[in-house]
């Protein structure tokens, strides 16, 4: 997968896995990593699927309707890529925290739903429920931050609430933060995510 790896100056910090939204690329969220934890190593990945020329991490059938077969395949593809990258670049595979926005947050959520211990934590900005009717692994206090907008035209509030509920019922330690905005990424939710990250991962 096309990507950027930047080795950080903090030896014991988690590696930040950056996952862009639809139409983005591997450079989009690099400034976000600096806001969350400057000095951390970064693995920023570009999605392998193209939708009308716009990169994505998995296919969809319509707005808000995922191609579940492709989602499962691409989720494993991404997990395997992280596994191989850890070997190639020498970072701790057990200390990877995903930071995803929109489509990128959805595939990060899918990794949590499908692959036990695939992430040490996740910051999900404007994420949907990745799949329904599947058994979620025991998440054992997995720290997850979810940023959402109360008037998001793409993700209704009950959708985010369902995601929060599903993760909590599976044992995750979920912090949800709401802005009065829509689907855009707002500075206050990024700042809150940074505080959350430091509370959970900075020693």
* Active-site residue set: 102, 152, 183
Strands 15-19 and 42-45: parallel
Q: Give the whole-angstrom CA distance, residue 203 versus residue 81.
A: 28
Q: What is the DSSP letter of 62?
A: E
Query: Which residue in 124, 107, 129, 96 sits closest to 57, CA to CA?
Result: 107
- Number of CB atoms found within 10 A of residue 56's CB: 25
Sequence-ordered list of residues with C-beta below 8 angstroms from that of 96, at least 6 positions apart, any chain? 14, 15, 17, 43, 82, 86, 119, 120
Distances (CA, A) of 102 to 30, 148, 185: 16, 10, 9
* DSSP letter (8 states) at residue 140: T
Q: DSSP string of 12-44?
A: TSPEEEEE--TT--TTTTHHHHHHH-TTS-EEE
Are the C-beta atoms of 177 and 161 separated by less than 8 Å? no
């Amino acid at each position: 997968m096309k990507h950027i790896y930047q080795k950080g100056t903090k030896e014991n910090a988690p590696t930040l896995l950056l996952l862009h939204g639809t139409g983005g690329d591997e450079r989009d969220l690099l400034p976000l990593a600096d806001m969350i934890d400057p000095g951390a190593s970064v693995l920023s990945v570009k999605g392998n699927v193209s939708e009308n020329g716009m990169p994505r991490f998995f296919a969809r059938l319509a707005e808000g309707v995922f191609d579940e077969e492709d989602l499962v395949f691409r989720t494993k593809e991404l997990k395997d890529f992280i596994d191989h990258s850890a070997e190639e670049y020498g970072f701790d595979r057990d200390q990877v925290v995903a930071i995803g926005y929109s489509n990128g947050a959805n595939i990060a959520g899918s990794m949590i739903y499908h692959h036990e211990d695939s992430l040490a934590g996740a910051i999900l900005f404007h994420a949907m429920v990745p799949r329904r009717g599947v058994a979620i692994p025991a998440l054992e206090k997995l720290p997850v931050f979810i940023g959402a907008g109360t008037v998001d035209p793409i993700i209704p509030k009950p959708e985010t609430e369902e995601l929060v509920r599903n993760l909590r019922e599976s044992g995750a330690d979920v912090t949800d933060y709401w802005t009065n905005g829509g689907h855009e990424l707002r500075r206050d939710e990024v700042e809150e995510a940074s505080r959350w990250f430091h509370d959970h991962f900075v020693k």
